[in-house]
């Protein structure tokens, strides 16, 4: 299910106390989030492209 | 590395079991094709030939499109429709796109807000709907990919039985295309509907998909 942001992070990571329903910002390197985001989009895109190529070339 | 695994455990775990299931599906599908071909006295394809065939990619796209349709609908419908008592629903009375203040956009955006949430009406409008737009785009692309691979498989069957091939447009009007489509849609609609409804009275301690164990049944939009 798509979720609204929820509280989380390791001790000492939370930079401010969240209001109810507000996102919690976790300090640190955001590069890893970008890596998994890009990896998922790449995986989905690759699957779609391969399926189109396979179908359109009548394999 | 340990921090990377910890901070991304959910997406990495789902990515791993997705790849495992896809590989197992390809092996099971290949073995099924071998059995069918032997029954008909036809030569069986090798594994790599099978994973490059529409016979493999058709069921993959069938299932992908229905999953992305499910989430796209869920994303859009939960903006406007509520379910009293469900943690999957917004609170009653909050239906709609909500105010700029509630959504922290424009002049209400914080210092750490994404740049597209801060300014430019068009940019804010696009970014405000980016999740739904991308999920819907993936649904439409995978549904089209299902139709293309299904068309190839359908025509291969036609050829085997000495019947004429059909055009892609012609295939879209065949029961085969719609049976494959709707059998997946109905199960997704039931699953997402039951998730929203069962979570009214049932709990899963520690899961953000559930209300807290002690939350009232009437509590809506509350996450554990």
Task: Identify the pLDDT of residue A18.
Answer: 45
Nearest beta carbon to residue B74 from set A1, A44, A52:
A1
**Residues of chain B found within 8 Å of residue A51, distances taken between Cβ atoms:** 57, 60-61, 142, 145-146, 148-149
Checking if the pLDDT of B7 tops 70, the result is yes
**With bands split at pLDDT 50, 70 and 90, how would you rate the model's confidence at B119?**
confident
Q: What is the pLDDT of residues B143-186, one digit of tens each?
A: 999 999 999 999 999 998 999 999 999 999 999 999 999 999 99
Task: Identify the pLDDT of residue B40.
Answer: 83
Query: Which position has the higher pLDDT, B62 or B221?
Result: B62
Query: Which position has the higher pLDDT, B43 or B175?
Result: B175
Checking if the pLDDT of A12 tops 50, the result is no
Distance from CA of A1 to the nearest CA of B (A): 7
Query: Phi, psi (5° rounding) for residue B204?
Result: -135, 105
Task: Identify the pLDDT of residue A14.
Answer: 39
**Residues of chain A found within 8 Å of residue B15, distances taken between Cβ atoms:** 36, 39-40, 43
Backbone dihedral region for residue B139 (phi beyond 0: left; psi -120 to 50: alpha; all else: beta): alpha
Q: What's the rounded Cα separation, in Å, for the pair B73 and B53?
A: 30
**Structure letter (DSSP) for residue A14:** B
Task: Identify the pLDDT of residue A11.
Answer: 35
B57 contacts A55? CB cut-off 8 A: yes
Lookup: tokens for B187: 């199960």
Q: What is the pLDDT of residues B53-67, one digit of tens each?
A: 999 999 999 999 999
Q: Whose CA is closest to B142, among A56, A57, A44?
A: A44
CA B132 from centroid of its chain's CA atoms: 12
Residues 149-168 of B with CB under 8 A from A: 149-152, 155
pLDDT (mean) for B189-196: 97
Task: Identify the pLDDT of residue B187.
Answer: 97
Residue of A31, A48, A51 best to disrupt the B interface, most CBs of B under 10 A: A51
Distance from CA of B206 to the nearest CA of A (A): 12
Q: What is the pLDDT of residues B92-102, one digit of tens each?
A: 999 999 999 99
User: What is the DSSP code string of chain B?
Assistant: -HHHHHHTHHHHHHHHHHHHHHHHHHHHHHHHHHHHHHHHTPPPPPHHHHHTSHHHHHHHHHHHHHHHHHHHHHHHHHHH---TT-TTSPPTT--SS--HHHHT-GGG--TTS-GGGTS-HHHHHHHHTHHHHHHHHHHHHHHHHHHHHHHHHHHHHHHHTT-----HHHHHTSHHHHHHHHHHHHHHHHHHHHHHHHHHH---TT-TTS--TTS-TT--S---
**Residues of chain B found within 8 Å of residue A42, distances taken between Cβ atoms:** none
Distance from CA of B142 to the nearest CA of A (A): 6
pLDDT (mean) for A1-11: 41
**With bands split at pLDDT 50, 70 and 90, how would you rate the model's confidence at B224?**
confident
Q: What is the pLDDT of residues A24-56, one digit of tens each?
A: 555 556 888 999 999 999 999 999 999 999 999
Residues 34-73 of B with CB under 8 A from A: 52-54, 57-58, 60-61, 64, 71
Checking if the pLDDT of B197 tops 50, the result is yes
């Amino acid at each position: 299910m798509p979720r609204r942001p929820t509280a989380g992070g390791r001790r000492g990571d939370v930079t401010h106390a969240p209001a109810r329903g507000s996102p919690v910002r976790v300090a640190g390197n955001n590069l890893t989030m970008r890596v998994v985001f890009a990896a998922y989009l790449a995986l989905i895109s690759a699957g779609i492209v391969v399926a189109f190529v396979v179908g359109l070339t009548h394999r | 590395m340990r921090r990377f695994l910890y901070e991304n455990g959910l997406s990495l775990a789902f990515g791993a079991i997705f790849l495992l299931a896809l590989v197992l599906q390809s092996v099971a599908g290949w073995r099924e094709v071998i059995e069918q071909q032997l029954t008909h006295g036809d030569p069986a394809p090798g594994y790599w030939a099978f994973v490059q065939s529409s016979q493999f990619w058709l069921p993959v796209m069938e299932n992908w499109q229905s999953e992305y349709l499910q989430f796209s609908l869920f994303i859009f419908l939960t903006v406007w429709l509520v379910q009293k008592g469900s943690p999957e629903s917004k609170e009653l009375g909050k239906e709609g796109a909500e105010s700029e203040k509630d959504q922290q956009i424009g002049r209400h955006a914080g210092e750490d807000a994404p740049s597209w949430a801060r300014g430019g009406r068009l940019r804010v409008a696009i970014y405000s709907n980016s999740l739904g737009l991308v999920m819907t785009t993936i649904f439409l692309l995978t549904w089209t990919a299902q139709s293309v691979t299904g068309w190839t498989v359908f025509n291969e069957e036609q050829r085997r039985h000495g019947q004429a091939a059909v055009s892609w447009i012609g295939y879209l009007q065949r029961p085969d295309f719609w049976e494959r489509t709707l059998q997946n849609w109905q199960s997704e609609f039931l699953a997402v509907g039951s998730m929203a409804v069962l979570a009214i009275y049932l709990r899963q301690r520690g899961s953000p998909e559930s209300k807290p164990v002690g939350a009232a049944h009437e509590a809506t939009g509350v996450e554990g």
